[in-house]
Amino acid sequence: MKFNLTKKVLAWYDNNKRTLPWRVGKKSNNKLYYRVLSEFMLQQTQVKTVIPYFAKFTSKFPNLNSLSKANEKKILKLWEGLGYYRRARNLLATSRILVKRYNSKLPQEIDEIKTLPGIGDYTSNVLAALIYNKPTLAFDGNVKRVISRILNMEVRKIDFKEFKKINKKKIFNTNRNSDLVEAMMEFGALVCNSKTPKCYRCPIKINCKFYKSSNKIKQIKKEMTNKNINIFCYLSKKGEIALTKKNNSGFLNEFNLPKIESIKKNKSFKKWKLLSKYKNSISNKKLNINLYYQFSKDIPNNYSWYSIKRNNEFIPSFTKHIFKQVSVLF
């Protein structure tokens, strides 16, 4: 099998990754703390549940050192509602060991990382890749499922030994090991998910044996539909964009978006200036987008101003792409 999936998965990740509060820059002082904290919280818990707990923890304990000095009762109180309280105790114990024994660093060797309380095979590999860019893949359920589908193997047969054998053919090969670990997890969560894999928009479908061979895929494959839309951005001179949680486009109702309409020109159309034309895709829709803007002090009732320079966590990549484009106007 002579193909390198890594490039495709990483390119997909670069364009589609969610902005999550623990995904800080490579040089951030809090990188280790945020990763350790989020990995403990994410054990058996979904991302959307973890986000508010992560925010609470980091506002009370802004760094590893402050967490290591915390009292256990306080930690358990903050953990309330997240369940599996053993994780909280292990987190505290691990933070103390990291601070005292390792000078607030992560041990270099995976076997040593594994000796920390509450850290097993999976978490030690994730941390080694994320913090030291070690060439390892962490096998959570998502990653195993993706690999098993690509190779059309049973999930239970995918383990490190097997993967090393498979990877002699350099299916996964990169020096961006840290990103690859995250990309595979993200890809398994957002595209190759367990019940309804989105093969119709999968960037590696031509490499996927499951896609090629399975009849099931015919049932889940949906044809991409084309849609032409106009996006209207109200901008302020201060570098803000007006966003709403509701739109009348019939999709993406949950997200913060500028005004979106199907292409129908009317009288008020003249006020808008065309900034760009581009293509994007959402769900099973291929979008041909015309991006318009106008500077305005007045915005519709259900809109609020949002700085395009603000740290935009929770803003979907579709909208961030718009931010990037309108930023040329400031």
Give the x-and-dash track for 209-248 against ligand SF4 (CB under 6 A): -xx-------------------------------------
Closest CA to 39 of 135, 145, 122: 122
197, 291, 293, 326: residue in contact with ligand SF4 (rule CB under 6 A): 197
Token pair listed for 324: 């990037």
- Least separation in angstroms between residue 237's CB and ligand SF4 is 44
Q: Is 199 in the site for ligand SF4 (CB under 6 A)?
A: yes
Cβ proximity to ligand SF4: between 198 and 227 the closer is 198
- Least separation in angstroms between residue 88's CB and ligand SF4 is 35
Residues with catalytic roles: 39
Cβ contacts of 283 within 8 Å, gap of 6 or more: 251
Q: Is 144 in the site for ligand SF4 (CB under 6 A)?
A: no
- Least separation in angstroms between residue 160's CB and ligand SF4 is 20
Of 52-60, 80-88, 113-121, 205-213, the segment contacting ligand SF4 by CB under 6 A is 205-213
Q: Is 192 in the site for ligand SF4 (CB under 6 A)?
A: yes
Cβ proximity to ligand SF4: between 8 and 259 the closer is 8
36, 50, 158, 191: residue in contact with ligand SF4 (rule CB under 6 A): 191
- Least separation in angstroms between residue 140's CB and ligand SF4 is 15
Taking phi over 0 as left and psi of -120 to 50 as alpha, with beta for the rest, 70 belongs to beta
Give the Cα separation of 72 and 249 in Å (integer): 49
Q: Is 149 in the site for ligand SF4 (CB under 6 A)?
A: yes
Q: Is 204 in the site for ligand SF4 (CB under 6 A)?
A: yes
Distance in angstroms between the alpha carbons of the first and the last residue of the chain: 48
Cβ proximity to ligand SF4: between 87 and 149 the closer is 149
Q: Is 150 in the site for ligand SF4 (CB under 6 A)?
A: yes
Of 42-50, 134-142, 198-206, 302-310, the segment contacting ligand SF4 by CB under 6 A is 198-206
Q: For binding to ligand SF4 (CB under 6 A), which residues are involved? A: 146, 149-150, 191-192, 197-199, 202, 204-205, 208, 210-211
